């Protein structure tokens, strides 16, 4: 197949593009700057440009759509333009180009309303109750994508949960930087049980969804390592791998949620240069359980994670040059 991968300059997008190249497919990538992925044809442009998207989609058989505005804060109009309207533009370009398969890369946050998730399968995307502009617009975009599913355009949605690994400048680097500065608290002592996904596993699951899209189209799947651990243990493992002290102080989750709501209000008026230190969504993510039943995902995608959580932490330590303990 000739496959278009959008967002390949990102951590997960680049890994997915490399995985699909290894599977023997011809890959074109589409993003605003060069992907840096060996063996692909880079098409540079923006999801907000119909001409750019149409040019990128020309002649492809399938699309893996990862490009998105991902942030804890920001202008709602930007999230709408990139995540929702960008998906709408891509779907139109695929129709015009005759591309018949789409893997829409989503997020478990599209079905999260603030309560714990303990052993659930993928629930329907719910933009009305999703927390924050990213989750809300990704929920709208997922519904848009799955709503286009048909025999002529087969669509599957995959939702990787908390993807991390060596080279991650989002989750891992922010954890390490805040821990180093002493600004990484535990909420309710970090007792909430959460799952995450090592980067290689996330990429291989998305590649598996591409291979299986004809059989599983119309469905949504959550992707995880299937090894839930307490927040304190996961954060501690990442910090140890990077050679920094694990968070040693805790605050009540209710206090963090209230503080997050206040910070969000201030950020809307006077945004900072980086992500806000706390939001209500982040407080909920750090203080409620998030682990998922993976049986349907693994059976229907015919996929298994190859890298365990402990092996992933060992590779992360190797990346940072941290001595083995």
- Reading the block at residue 291, the tokens are 């682990």
In a domain, 105, yes or no: yes
In a domain, 270, yes or no: no
What letter does residue 221 receive in the DSSP assignment? E
Per-residue CA distances from 136 to 111, 227, 315 (Å):
9, 27, 34
In a domain, 233, yes or no: no
In a domain, 275, yes or no: no
Residues 6+ apart with CB under 8 A from 43: 4, 28, 29, 30, 52, 55, 56
Which pLDDT score, from 0 to 100, does residue 155 have? 98
In a domain, 216, yes or no: yes
**How many domains in the chain?**
1
In a domain, 13, yes or no: yes
Domain membership of residue 220 as a residue range: 2-164+196-226+292-306
In a domain, 96, yes or no: yes
pLDDT (tens place) for every residue of the chain, 325 residues total: 999 999 999 999 999 999 999 999 999 999 999 988 999 999 999 999 999 999 999 999 999 999 999 876 678 899 999 999 999 999 999 999 999 999 999 999 998 877 788 889 999 999 998 888 889 999 999 999 999 999 999 999 999 999 999 999 888 888 898 888 888 888 888 888 999 999 999 999 999 999 999 999 999 999 999 999 998 999 999 999 999 998 887 877 676 667 666 655 565 666 665 666 556 566 676 777 888 999 999 999 999 999 999 999 999 999 998 875 5
Mind telling me the catalytic residues? Answer: 134
Strands of the sheet containing 154-160, edge to edge, are 41-44, 26-31, 2-6, 62-65, 101-105, 154-160, 220-223
Look at strands 154-160 and 41-44 and give their pairing.
Answer: unpaired
In a domain, 137, yes or no: yes
Return the CATH number at 142. Answer: 3.40.50.720
């Amino acid at each position: 197949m000739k496959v278009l991968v959008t967002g390949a300059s990102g951590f997960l997008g680049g890994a997915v593009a490399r995985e699909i190249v290894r599977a023997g497919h011809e890959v074109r990538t589409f993003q605003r700057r060069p992907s840096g992925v060996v063996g692909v044809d880079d098409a540079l442009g923006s999801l907000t440009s119909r001409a750019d998207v149409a040019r990128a989609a020309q002649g492809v058989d399938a699309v893996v759509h990862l490009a998105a505005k991902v942030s804890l804060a920001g202008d709602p109009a930007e999230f709408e333009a990139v995540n929702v309207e960008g998906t709408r533009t891509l779907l139109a370009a695929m129709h015009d180009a005759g591309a018949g398969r789409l893997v829409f890369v989503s997020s478990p946050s599209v079905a999260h309303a603030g309560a714990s998730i303990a052993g659930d399968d993928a629930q329907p995307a719910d933009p009305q109750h999703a927390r924050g502009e990213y989750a809300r617009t990704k929920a709208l975009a997922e519904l848009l994508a799955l709503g286009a599913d048909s025999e002529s355009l087969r669509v599957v949605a995959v939702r990787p949960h908390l993807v991390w690994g060596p080279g991650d400048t989002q989750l891992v680097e922010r954890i390490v930087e805040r821990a180093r500065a002493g600004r990484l608290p535990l909420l309710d002592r970090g007792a909430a049980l959460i799952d995450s996904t090592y980067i290689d596993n996330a990429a291989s699951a998305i590649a598996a969804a591409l291979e299986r899209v004809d059989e599983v189209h119309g469905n949504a799947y959550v992707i995880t390592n299937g090894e839930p651990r307490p927040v304190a243990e996961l954060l501690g493992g990442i910090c140890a791998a990077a050679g920094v002290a694990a968070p040693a102080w805790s605050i009540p989750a209710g206090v963090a949620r209230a503080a997050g709501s206040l910070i969000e209000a201030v950020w809307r008026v006077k945004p900072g240069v980086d992500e806000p230190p706390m939001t209500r969504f982040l407080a909920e993510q750090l203080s409620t359980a998030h682990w998922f039943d993976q049986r349907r995902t693994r059976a229907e995608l015919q996929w298994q994670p190859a890298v365990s959580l402990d092996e992933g932490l060992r590779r992360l330590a190797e990346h940072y040059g941290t001595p083995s303990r």
